[in-house]
Structure 1
């Protein structure tokens, strides 16, 4: 199936436009995605740094408070007595330590409890009546983990601690220490500072709205804080392993993991960002871009269609003109005034068609002249052939001392020639009635030469006398019937020639049948192959028939023809079929 050039142009342009817009959209999307990701990472790093700054401040303040307490000689002297104290003295010492420790909790509202456990298990704190409870710290898992040698940890994991007469979550800062100047290795005291866990939570939750999940881990990977609400699958979280070099951020197919390790004791913040949420705005931008792409394509096609149609219109006119030329209309011309190559092409087409028209006209004229010469040549063959046979008859009669009959033949010949010789269109065509008159004159001539040897029977359908037909059709066939059929040998039987003319649909069939000696199959085949060929004098029988066949083919085409049916001793039947309409010259 052929595709119009306009469709091809629009299709190719649409494809190029779509590919260009898609590529630009892809690179824009990729570029914007990268910018958004990098910007989000930078923003997250800044926010995590801000969190880390606050957490580090809490860590540093807690450590400083612990150092103040440890180096406070008055507190240490009250805790560590050289001589045993009675119960009352011990009570007042503890009360004095309690008052001094309360100063630190009063100045730092994030501190819940400050506890000192002396090496012998005696407990001092900022609260009275909780000695036994604080002593139980030593049996809790979080505390035992802090006493592991070389752990390097000071801050515990989250646990519960009494504050304002009820349990609250807390993180404890634990420092084992010896009294300054103390040389006894076993005499190790333990300072415990309970920090409000909510203080840490409030710091972490300041930036929670920016992330899908945020965590705080200690150096062992234990969770100090986790905002997880079950929305993030476990495999999406990539936690650092112990000793692993930690990057600033990592990503997988669905999430971004951002890390911060700028706090004391290798605390690590892990923030998880869903790419779906991160690029949610970008998706709306992408939808908007698709709409722009569709609108641009429709707008481009709307603007292109008139332009392409205007550009293709000259080509369409030229194609239509070419089709008309291919159908034989050589008068087709195109008028293209585009001022470009199409105008040059149109002018070239017009010149080509004009030259082709002139060439065809010249060829037609040459062909008509050639065919006219051929017809004249064919007619020139008929007349000498007929005259040759007639003069033979005159010579025969003269030798037989039948001069009066020779004179009659000569007169008939003169009359026949007067009727058969015409100029113009009448040189090639006549009516059936005229052909019958010519044939009768010829029959009169031959009846003188061959008296009582043959009889001619006419059977002409009424109304066919005015039918047009090529000239000199009947006479040569009758001549062949006489000389090569009936009179070619002596016979006692009367010969007859039956000539009929009748309609057959839109044609006329002329039949000339004789009861002569007929022809052998070889002779019949030789006559059928004589068309267009000049034969020797021994084959004069075929000259007239071949001449008639060629003229019928020339005037009417090969659909109309002359046919011969014959057999030894069966006579010969010649049928001529021509149309009942004027023929071309």
Structure 2
């Protein structure tokens, strides 16, 4: 514990506090930056992947569009339209005409390098081009021909050629435009599979990830693929979700299905690509955090030393100060707060030197002060003895009522004048007894006109309150209530628990003439000013009680609550808090 006390200095506390704050800030900034930048890197990678997939899909759409336009040109060629119409009419075209038709078709084949062959068939599936006789049903299944018929002139991609795995086939009906778009035959095109090998720029951007791409027909047969031999396309095509694990490596899966062909374009991108910049980012942030932490350590030490140096100088001066030899601190610090401490210490030294002189002078006159205090105690003692003599003289003459009044007056003076340590607070029971003595004395003057009742709840007897709070209010009730009434007057004192937890409400009420609303409003205004004027007195009683309530109970006290109606008397009440001193007073009362 002693060893720790040597290190528990202001400089070390400031140093550790600054270092801790700086490290927390650096840690929060590092975590925030790492999170934000890693998300940004991952989003950029995902954006690149999406762009690559969109570029590949766009390139595929361009290739398909070219074939669609080529077959449309063949199907709408005037020669093809004319000859197929002749076939529909039952006129078989000659071999020579078929040769000339083959030349027309070969001319269109030259437009696209990926065309293996283009073929024409009649509506009853007979071959026109090529020249050798072959039925279209021998090339494709009846189900495929049914799909072509349902398409009504649109190009239908059928997938891998069953007779040649290196080609992809597509068909469309020839609609006779000059004859109500009647069915005239079929255009059959065989495309090299290499034609659908998407551009390397769409697969591997410079410096980008090594994506794996595959193009599959409706039967999930591979038209084009860069998948490794170990990757099963069927598993990828049947997988649902954005991620898949293949050969122990995680991939992001992007699948686009062509609405035109029904083919599926699948792209696999290693997950590591989306996070490849994160390890580098982590290393940079850790290095920057270590450098920042070292810098914060050095700066915190220098700053804590600079702050505490003037304080240490002041401590050295204070340790050298001795009673009778109190010296000023001559080293003036630079900061405003420490300058204030410097001036305060020097001022305190001046004050202490003056105080030592004052104490010395007071010791000289202390004996005189004590003598005067003893003499001051003789006067109340003489007053009490005199009242006691009156009491016994009246008792001997049989004036018991007057004797009781004298003894009540003696007790009243003793309650008011007597002072001892802690005498400023009394219990509610003491205060009500004092009020009862005052009422007995006032009954001598008012005789039977004055009646009173005192109701004190048992739980409130020992609750403490400042001395002489109730008697001024009782005096006010007699002065402005009972004396102003024709006939008997009643003063009612009550103390009971309040609805507020831990509070007691004290009420003093009379059945006097009461006050009008204007007079009550003026009374409240006078209480705010702290003094009241009255034709029967100086008016300080109620104002004094109001002020003492606020002084003793502070913001917890609401002050006096005065209620009155003209002809219905007046009621004054106030709440007090059962303070912590209550326990001590209750113990003393019990003793």
Specify the TM-score bucket, using the shorter chain as the normaliser.
Answer: 0.3 to 0.5
- Structure 1 length-normalised TM: 0.46
TM-score scaled by structure 2? 0.45
Larger radius of gyration: 1
